Amino acid sequence: MKNAKIRLFVDQPLSEGQTVLLTKEQSHYLFSVMRLSTDGLVTLFNSQDGEFQAAVETAHKKSGTLKCTHKTRDIQMPPDLWLMFAPIKKTRTDFIVEKAAEMGARKILPIGTDYTNSERIRQDRLQAHALEAAEQCGGTFVPDVTDLQKLDNLLSTWDQERQIMFCDETLVGAAQTLQKASGEKWAILIGPEGGFSDRERAILHAMPYAHAVALGPRILRADTAAVAALTLWQQHLGDWP
């Protein structure tokens, strides 16, 4: 049987035989951009039920339906890992969200810190980036991107069961690693271009569930640091091994 090349996230339940109603945007994409017609195949996932192959039942410019034929994969949840980062320039922030979705984060949290460059984000745009990344990398789950929130607020109501991989640029070159770390609920914390303030660093170093980590002997840009930290964490505690 032919395999579907196009992957699509749908915000609807999926099961064998299920009919899926397409949105205007999805219909435009499938039938006008990708030129799919009746019986064309699409791979669907919804962050809940796994991945299904579906065939086009009806195809119009602004609407259409698909019918799920069979399940192709069970859902593969990423580890319970959050990525907290301070937004930087637009394209680099987009990059961080896209990479976090590809690398396997369960939740993405833009945070405001003392030196955060950008005070506003477009949550809807960032969420769309995460979704597109999941569609392209074969994921069966789309991480939620939250609205910008203050690091202080987040830390003051912190779930003590969730450990923090605190990437502290002042430790550059130090032998501070995740070597002795364990546990399943984690959050990576990456600072802005200006780094963390002394005040924030003091708070984090005093938290028993925060582990200060160095990312090698050079100072990395925040977007590079996010990918490096995700790699390290996945290798040590995540679903890579």
Pattern of binders to ligand SAH over 126-165, x per CB under 6 A?
Answer: ----------------------------------------
| DSSP conformational letter for 171 | G
Pick the binder of ligand SAH from 58, 71, 76, 194 (CB under 6 A): 194
Pick the binder of ligand SAH from 51, 98, 168, 200 (CB under 6 A): 168
Pick the binder of ligand SAH from 40, 110, 191, 238 (CB under 6 A): 191
Please give the full DSSP string across 174-218, using - where no structure is assigned: S---STT---S-EEEEE--TT---HHHHHHHHH-TTEEEE--SSS
3-state secondary structure of 233: helix
Stretch that binds ligand SAH, among 20-28, 56-64, 129-137, 191-199 (CB under 6 A): 191-199
How many Å apart are CA 230 and CA 238, to the nearest integer? 9
Stretch that binds ligand SAH, among 7-15, 29-37, 141-149, 166-174 (CB under 6 A): 166-174
Instruction: Residue 53: name the closest of 25, 94, 89, 16 by CA.
Output: 16
Copy the structure tokens of residue 195.
């780094």
**Cβ of residue 18: shortest distance to ligand SAH, in angstroms?**
44
Pick the binder of ligand SAH from 95, 186, 196, 233 (CB under 6 A): 196
H or E stretch covering 6: strand 6-9
**Cβ of residue 17: shortest distance to ligand SAH, in angstroms?**
48
Alpha helices in the chain (DSSP H): 24-27, 90-103, 123-137, 151-156, 198-206, 222-237
Number of residues that bind ligand SAH (CB under 6 A): 18
200 near ligand SAH (CB under 6 A) = no
195 near ligand SAH (CB under 6 A) = yes
Angle at 192 between CA 217 and CA 160, to 5 degrees: 90
Instruction: Residue 133: name the closest of 105, 106, 97 by CA.
Output: 97
Specify the residue, 6 or 171, whose C-beta has the smaller distance to ligand SAH: 171
Burial (CB count <10 Å: 0-12, 13-18, 19+), residue 56: buried
CB nearest ligand SAH: which residue? Answer: 191
**Cβ of residue 146: shortest distance to ligand SAH, in angstroms?**
19
Within 87-116, the residues that bind ligand SAH by CB under 6 A are none
Residues that bind ligand SAH (CB under 6 A): 167-169, 171-172, 190-191, 193-196, 214-216, 219-220, 222, 225
